[in-house]
Structure 1
Amino acid sequence: MKMHKWLLVLLLTWAAGFSGPAVAQTTSEATSTVEYSSQAPASSSIEMADMMRRDGKIYIVVAVLVSVLLGVLLYLISLDKKIGRLERELRQ
C-alpha cells in the first residue's frame, strides 16, 4: 500500500510541474535586465509544434505519451501487489 502512495505523490508532483504557464525569457541589451513574458516572440515559434497542432497530430502524440505513462504506472502497481503477496507467503 505504501507503493501506491509514493506513486500517487510522484504522479501529482509530475503533473504539477507541467501545469504552470510557459514563460519565455528575453534580455534587453541596453539595460541588461531580464524581462518575463507569457507569450513567446513570433520569431522563436516552433514550426514543428505549430504544424502538428494544425494537423491534429499533436493529440496522437499526447495520447501515446499518456498511454505509455499509464502502462508503466499500472505495471508498477501490479508488480507491487505481486511482491506484497510473495512477502506475505514468505512470512507464513
Structure 2
Amino acid sequence: MSYIAVFAQGNGVEMADELRSSGKIYVVVTIIVIIFVGLALYLFSIDRRLKKIEKEK
C-alpha cells in the first residue's frame, strides 16, 4: 500500500506544471468556472420554466 502512495507522488503532471509556470492555468480555471456557471444558470432557467408549465396544468 505504501508503495502505491510513493509511486503516485513521484509521478508529476507535466502539462499542469507547464501551465502553472507560464500563468496559463488561471485562464484554464477561469474558462472552466465560466462554463459551470453558464450550465448552472441554464439549468435554473429550465427549472423555472418547468415549474411555470406545471402550475399552468
TM-score after normalising by structure 1? 0.53
Give 1:70 shift.
1.0
The aligned length equals 54
> Does residue 51 of structure 1 match 2:18?
yes
The unaligned stretches of length 5 or more in structure 1 are: 1-33
Separation in 2 of the partners of 1:74 and 1:66?
Answer: 12
SS at match of 1:45: coil
TM-score after normalising by structure 2? 0.80
Q: Give the superposed CA RMSD.
A: 1.6
Moved over 2 A (4+): none
Q: Pick the structure with more helix per residue.
A: 2
Identical-pair percentage: 37
Q: Pick the structure with more strand per residue.
A: 1
The unaligned stretches of length 5 or more in structure 2 are: none
In the TM superposition, what whole-angstrom CA distance separates every residue of 1:15-66 from its partner, at most 9, and x where no partner exists?
A: xxxxxxxxxxxxxxxxxxx1135x822xx22221111000111111111111
With CA pairs under 8 Å and 6+ residues apart, which has the higher RCO, 1 or 2?
Answer: 1
